[in-house]
């Protein structure tokens, strides 16, 4: 049968070619046979601790062979992997675990979450445990990532698909079987988790690292010869800043995806010029996957700034009065899955949904007369200053183009005159010195005057996480209430 449980699909790959690399994390590589053995012993240990089919297993491990083994182990007993950041604050992790009802938490100190079995980073199952293949089991849903932590109210986004795979179908997204995939992002984020784990059970060698490093990514591409790579714009920027990055051999790549955040057009153009537009792909969707757009780099050049047309489901734009917006009019983007298709469910939150089944994830944008989707920003992050709508992503893209800036985040702070003033947090490149005047001169060539931040704040700590995400609401709250 071509439809197999996810755990069984990896077992079959391991039996077919046991010595082929399965996962590389930095300098550490584990073969299919070794990962199969480890995940089988983990699965039996999980079951011995009372984990049952349908239970959630919270995985708070860093990128590592053990992360992938734990994911496979959960699937092998029909449980649901529920990845979280290993650096998640205790209170936020506790809230997620309560929602999931997880009997087992990996990456937590023993006793850290009373009533749950907590296994710390570095835990391994007993070597004496049986490592032979387990009986087939199917998880009722194959993943349950989280979202919403920036609001203080995390939620689970439980996939509508069970833990099975069609071993004869096209894996999709340009993924091939038995290839090499370079995924340098954190596995607790939805896109790296989804593509790397599905790629793994399709026989791919997954190459990642403990934490993203631009130069290490280029070195990994030369060493392991990936045919497929997944990035976010922050990674693209940092790779482009590596001295002589163009001298690295990237010729093995057939497909380079970027997603998860808006990509500045100037940065995307640089990558298209470097690798070729036919290799660069952009995807826009939520973890909820009601609808998905895709655009290839060479097509993008004629629709500069677009994220493409929907290839799955539907999208439309709604104005402030709740009416369908005209072509080219900015509003809130709503999505709808194909009829009869349930792509997800929330645990701990309710979807923003109308009576016709259209849902909003809070993104703003517009759709042109030909159906191409363009994003502006998140609804909650938009700044109303002096009567004008300011989209932080646009200002951040202009700031990040400065050669001495590593990253930036733009927020609105209260202002008696303007309502909100634009405030920019700027992380310079290590050792670089940038002044307010430098940035104002730089921005004056790129932005209309009212979009230029009134104030700048220079920081040394990262503004974005390893997946390129920024919590603007938290940055704003920290500055309104420093205590």
> Residue 482 — pLDDT band, cuts 50, 70, 90?
low
Residues 470, 408: Cα–Cα separation, whole Å: 9
Can you tell me the mean pLDDT for 364-380?
92
> Residue 150 — pLDDT band, cuts 50, 70, 90?
very low
Residues 410, 387: Cα–Cα separation, whole Å: 18
Residue found under tokens 């990896």:
10
Q: Is 401 helix (H, G, I), strand (E, B) or coil?
A: coil
Can you tell me the mean pLDDT for 408-432?
92
pLDDT above 90 as % of the chain: 84
List, for residues 326-360, the tens digit of each pLDDT value. 999 999 999 999 999 999 999 999 999 998 999 99
Of the candidate ranges 373-382, 455-464, 465-474, the one whose mean pLDDT is the lowest: 465-474
- Predicted local confidence at residue 142, as pLDDT: 98
Q: Which of 364, 427, 417, 351 is closest to 391 using CA atoms?
A: 364
CB half-sphere exposure, 370, CA atoms < 13 A? 8
Is residue 96 scored above 50 in pLDDT?
yes
CB atoms within 10 A of CB 278: 13
Domain 382-480 sits in CATH at 3.30.300.30
Domain 265-379 sits in CATH at 2.30.38.10
Q: Is 21 helix (H, G, I), strand (E, B) or coil?
A: strand
Domains in the chain: boundaries: 3-258, 265-379, 382-480
Domain 3-258 sits in CATH at 3.40.50.12780
Residues 176, 84: Cα–Cα separation, whole Å: 27
Is residue 385 scored above 90 in pLDDT?
no
> Residue 127 — pLDDT band, cuts 50, 70, 90?
very high
Backbone CA torsion sign across 100, 101, 103, 108: positive
- Predicted local confidence at residue 467, as pLDDT: 76
Can you tell me the mean pLDDT for 4-29?
98
- Predicted local confidence at residue 146, as pLDDT: 92
- Predicted local confidence at residue 405, as pLDDT: 95
């Amino acid at each position: 049968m071509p439809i197999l449980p996810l755990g069984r699909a990896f077992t079959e790959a391991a039996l077919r070619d046991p010595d082929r690399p399965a996962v590389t994390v930095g300098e550490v590589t584990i073969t299919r046979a070794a990962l199969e053995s480890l995940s089988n012993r983990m699965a039996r240990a999980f079951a011995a601790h009372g984990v049952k089919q349908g239970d959630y297993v919270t995985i708070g491990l860093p990128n590592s062979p053990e992360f992938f083994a734990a994911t496979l182990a959960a699937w092998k007993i029909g449980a649901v992997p529920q990845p979280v950041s290993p650096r998640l604050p205790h209170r936020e992790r506790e809230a997620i675990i309560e929602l999931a009802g997880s009997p087992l938490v990996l990456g937590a100190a023993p006793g850290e979450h009373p009533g749950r079995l907590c296994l710390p980073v570095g835990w391994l199952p007993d070597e004496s445990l049986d490592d032979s293949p387990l009986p087939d089991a199917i998880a009722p849903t194959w993943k349950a990532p989280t979202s919403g932590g920036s609001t203080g109210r995390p939620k689970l986004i439980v996939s509508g698909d069970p833990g099975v795979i069609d071993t004869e179908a096209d894996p999709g997204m340009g993924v091939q079987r038995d290839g090499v995939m370079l995924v340098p992002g954190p596995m607790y984020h939805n896109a790296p988790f989804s593509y790397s784990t599905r790629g793994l059970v399709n026989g791919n060698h997954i190459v990642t690292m403990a934490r993203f490093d631009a130069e290490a990514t280029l070195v990994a591409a030369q060493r392991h010869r990936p045919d497929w790579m997944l990035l976010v714009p922050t990674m693209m920027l940092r790779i482009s800043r590596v001295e002589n990055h163009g001298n690295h051999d990237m010729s093995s790549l057939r497909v380079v995806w970027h997603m998860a955040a808006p990509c500045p057009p100037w940065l995307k153009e640089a990558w298209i010029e470097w690798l070729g537009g036919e290799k660069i792909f952009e995807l826009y969707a939520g973890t909820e996957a009601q609808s998905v757009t895709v655009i290839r780099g060479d097509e993008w050049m004629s629709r500069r700034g677009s994220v493409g047309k929907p290839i799955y489901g539907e999208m439309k734009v709604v104005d402030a009065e709740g009416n369908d917006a005209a072509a080219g009019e900015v509003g809130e983007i709503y999505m709808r899955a194909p009829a009869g298709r349930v792509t997800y469910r929330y645990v701990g939150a309710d979807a923003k949904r109308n009576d016709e089944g259209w849902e909003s994830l809070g993104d703003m944008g517009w759709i042109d007369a030909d159906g191409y989707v363009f994003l502006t920003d998140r609804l909650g992050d938009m700044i109303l200053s002096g009567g004008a709508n300011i989209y932080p992503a646009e200002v951040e893209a202009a700031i990040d183009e400065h050669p001495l800036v590593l990253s930036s985040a733009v927020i609105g702070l209260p202002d008696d005159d303007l309502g909100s003033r634009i405030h920019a947090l700027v992380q310079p490149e290590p050792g670089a010195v940038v002044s307010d005047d430098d940035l104002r001169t730089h921005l004056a060539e790129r932005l209309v005057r009212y979009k230029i931040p009134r104030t700048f704040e220079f920081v040394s700590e990262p503004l974005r996480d390893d997946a390129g995400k920024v919590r603007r609401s938290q940055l704003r709250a920290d500055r309104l209430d420093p205590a």
